[in-house]
Structures are given as structure tokens and as C-alpha cells.
Amino acid sequence: MKGFTKNLVLVLAIAVVLTGCKAPTQLVDTTKAAIDEVTKAGADKYAVAELKGLNDRLTAALDEVAAQDKKFFKKFGQAKEMLTGLGTDIEALKTALPAKIEAAKNEALKLQGEAKAAIDEAKALLAKAPTGKGTKKDIDALKADLAGAETAFAEIQTAIDGKDYIAAQDKAKSIMTKAAEVAAQVKAAIEKVTGKKIG
């Protein structure tokens, strides 16, 4: 009877150890699903650095799970802690994401206004540009460049309407660069003909 009790205690002890050393499969799946959800909610565009940090930490946690899985006496405590902490930070990002998206939208709208102002300035300068024999070809080319920028300007609003605020920002910046180039070349042409510096 003594031997039976001893064996029973040993079996129960082993069962407790093995239960405590079970891989946190469900926690891994839940964490992966949460990262996938926050990615689809816009973190891949509006919280790129934060999302990369979360994915890096998930990889580290999975590496820890894999390392323990290879051992005879498995200890998944650290991996569970890593995954639990990760879950908390995923939720925090999920909560912060709408504000980040709103900030990106506001920046896109601001840049849209700046792009319009840059086009208007370049157009005003083009209207004053010298149209003599030596400059007509150059001015016509600049007008074509500006017309292209004006056509592209509509794409900013399309991107905003489609809630792709990063694309809208990039398009606005590109248009501003093109309009600034046109304005600079027109100023140079006017200064060359008039001999007066334009501010």
C-alpha cells in the first residue's frame, strides 16, 4: 500500500508539472488574431513603427515557445508573460489608432490646401511670364507641367474620399514639388528678361 501511495503521488506530481508546461497555443492564436485585427484596422498605414514593434515581439515570443518546446522539462512561463504583455499593448494601439488616423486625415487636408496654393502661385507667375521668341517653348513646357499637376490634384481628394490619407499626403507633396519647380523656372525666366530679382 505504501508503494502504491508513493507511485500515485509521483504520477500526480508529474501530471502537475506537465500541465504547467503546456505550450500556450491558444494565447499564441489569440495574439496573432489581435495583431491581424489591428493591422486591418489601419495600423499598417498609420502606426507602422508600433506595428513593427508588436510583430517583432510576437516573433520573440514564438522563438521562446519553440526553444522551450525542444526541452524535456518545458517552462513556458516567460513566453506566456511576453504574450500577455503583448496583448495589452495591442489593445492600447487599437484604442489609439482612430486618433492616429484622424491626425493623418487632418495632415492630408492641410497638404491639399498647400498644394492648391502652390499651383495658384505658379499659375499667377506663369501669367506674368515673358512670351518672347526665345522663351515661348520653355513657357509652354512649364504650362504643360503645371497642367499635369492640376490634373493630379484631383487625385488627392480621391485618396481622401477613399480614406487613404497617406497616399493623399504623398500626392500633395509631389504636386507641391512640381509646382515649386515650375514657379522657380518662371521666376528665373522673368528675372532673365527684366533683370529684376523676384522675391
Say whether both 47 and 123 belong to one domain.
no
How far apart, in Å, are the Cα atoms of 89 and each of 45, 50, 82, 139, 188? 18, 10, 11, 56, 54
pLDDT of residue 132: 64
C-alpha cell at 157: 481628394
Residue with cell string 497555443: 25
Say whether both 43 and 106 belong to one domain.
no
- pTM summary value: 0.75
Cα(193)–Cα(151) distance, rounded to whole angstroms?
30
Cα(129)–Cα(126) distance, rounded to whole angstroms?
5
**Under-50 pLDDT residues of the chain:** 1-20
pLDDT of residue 136: 74
Say whether both 114 and 186 belong to one domain.
yes
DSSP code for 135: T
Check if the beta carbon of residue 172 is closer than 8 Å to that of residue 157: no
Total domains in the fold of the chain: 2
Check if the beta carbon of residue 166 is closer than 8 Å to that of residue 104: yes
Domain containing 16 equals 2-100
pLDDT in tens, 81-98: 999 999 999 999 999 999
pLDDT of residue 60: 96
C-alpha cell at 49: 513603427
Say whether both 118 and 108 belong to one domain.
yes
Say whether both 78 and 150 belong to one domain.
no
Domain assignment present for residue 199? The answer is no
